[in-house]
Structures are given as C-alpha cells and as structure tokens.
Chain A
Amino acid sequence: GAGVSQSPSNKVTEKGKDVELRCDPISGHTALYWYRQRLGQGLEFLIYFQGNSAPDKSGLPSDRFSAERTGESVSTLTIQRTQQEDSAVYLCASSALGGADTQYFGPGTRLTVL
C-alpha cells in the first residue's frame, strides 16, 4: 500500500510547549522506528517498537521524550516542555520484520522551537 506517512510536515512551537508527532507505518509492518536528524547531521536513533514486545527506548535523550504505538499501527512521539535544542527533523521508519529488514522512511516532521 502507501508508504510511511508523518504529520504534521512542519511544526513551529514556542519553548516550553508540548508537541505531538504522528507516524502511520506501512500496513502490516510490525517494526517501527523513530529517529531525529539535526541540521547537517546524521540520524540519531530514538525508539523502536516491535509487535507487542516492550519498546527499546534506549535512544530517547531525556524524560521529556516519550512515544506510544497502538498495536501495529499508528505511533505518536511526544516532546514535553520543548527546548530550542529539540529543533530537528523527526523521521519515522517501518519494516515488515525487525532485525536487518529494510526500513522504509517517512518524509519527516520538521520541528522548530522558537
């Protein structure tokens, strides 16, 4: 079906506000990843969901960051009390299986914290 979609495509917020980013993976994909890409840098792993297993949250940079996934569908990444250093593109990817399976990336959400 369709590829990975993310919303919003752009988000501008004020420092201290909470934001919620959404990812719709490819239908049937059991694995879902969130990454952050700061300007001019590579991707930083944030969190990984695989089926009903406990997520791997080892990449979340602080307790202001959290993510949820409903079954094998939509995921939301929430950033509380945003800071200017949170400004980045947040990318979501899904894969049919975990492990070395190919990840398909969404277009990203560009977050700007003023």
Chain B
Amino acid sequence: AQSVTQLDSHVSVSEGTPVLLRCNYSSSYSPSLFWYVQHPNKGLQLLLKYTSAATLVKGINGFEAEFKKSETSFHLTKPSAHMSDAAEYFCVVRDNTGGFKTIFGAGTRLFVKA
C-alpha cells in the first residue's frame, strides 16, 4: 500500500534563507513522486516530478527535490526563499503498476517572513 507523510504541517523561514519541506513515502513498487503547490485561492500547480530518471529533480521557481530510495524520502528544497513562495505544498506518490490511485500528503504550509 502507498502512503505519504509530510513531516511538518507548517514551516516558517525568512526571505533569502533556504527552504526544506520534508516528505517520506512508502510504496510497494517503484513509485512516481510529485510536489504540487497551492497558492491561496488558486489551483494546484505541479512543481516537479520524479519518474525513475535522475534522482535529483529540478522544478519551477528554483525548487528541487532529491529521491532517496534508502531513506524513502523526497524532500523539497530551495536555496533562497522569496515572499511569493508562501503557499501550501503537497507531496504526492503514485505507484506505476497499473493502479490509478494518487495519494496526496496532508500538506505543508510555508510562511516567508520579510
């Protein structure tokens, strides 16, 4: 069975400092992993995805994530936070064995202080 755990419900950083949003997953099979962002009153937008190619995945807006199979983690990072990064972030797992279910984490709300 698949599951995804976002370890922090809220993260607060100062503008210009690094961002780390943590995600651990479990999957019986080789998964695909995604990060989505949801800004207030806006739709969900894909940041990046891992599909068994390079383990370090670069996404939009300077975000990247590293797939670590040994740690079953897919943490999202950004070297320098911007005020516009304040949003809700969702880590997502989907197995690739023909099942269709996509599992979303509970979300991490990122606050960016000036």
Binding site for B on A (CB under 8 A): 3, 33, 35, 41-45, 48, 50, 56, 58-59, 91, 93, 98-100, 102-108
Q: Which of A44, A99, A105 contacts B32 (CB 8 A)?
A: A99
B25 to chain A, nearest CB (A): 13
A-B contact list, 5 entries, CB within 8 Å: A42-B106, A56-B101, A102-B49, A105-B43, A107-B43
Q: Which of B46, B105, B106 contacts A103 (CB 8 A)?
A: B46
Mark interface residues in B42-59 (1 if CB within 8 Å of A CB, else 0): 111110010100000000
Binding site for A on B (CB under 8 A): 32, 36, 42-46, 49, 51, 90, 94, 96, 99-107
B33 to chain A, nearest CB (A): 9
Alpha-carbon distance between A44 and B103 when the two chains are bound, in angstroms = 7
Question: Contact at B101–A58, with CB atoms within 8 Å?
Answer: yes
Which residues from chain B contact A98 at a C-beta distance below 8 Å? 100
Alpha-carbon distance between A3 and B103 when the two chains are bound, in angstroms = 22
A72 to chain B, nearest CB (A): 15
Question: Contact at A105–B102, with CB atoms within 8 Å?
Answer: no
Which residues from chain B contact A106 at a C-beta distance below 8 Å? 43
Question: Contact at B96–A91, with CB atoms within 8 Å?
Answer: no
Extra contacts besides A43-B90, A45-B101, A102-B49 (11): CB < 8 Å:
A42-B90, A42-B105, A42-B107, A43-B104, A48-B100, A59-B101, A93-B44, A99-B32, A100-B49, A100-B96, A106-B43
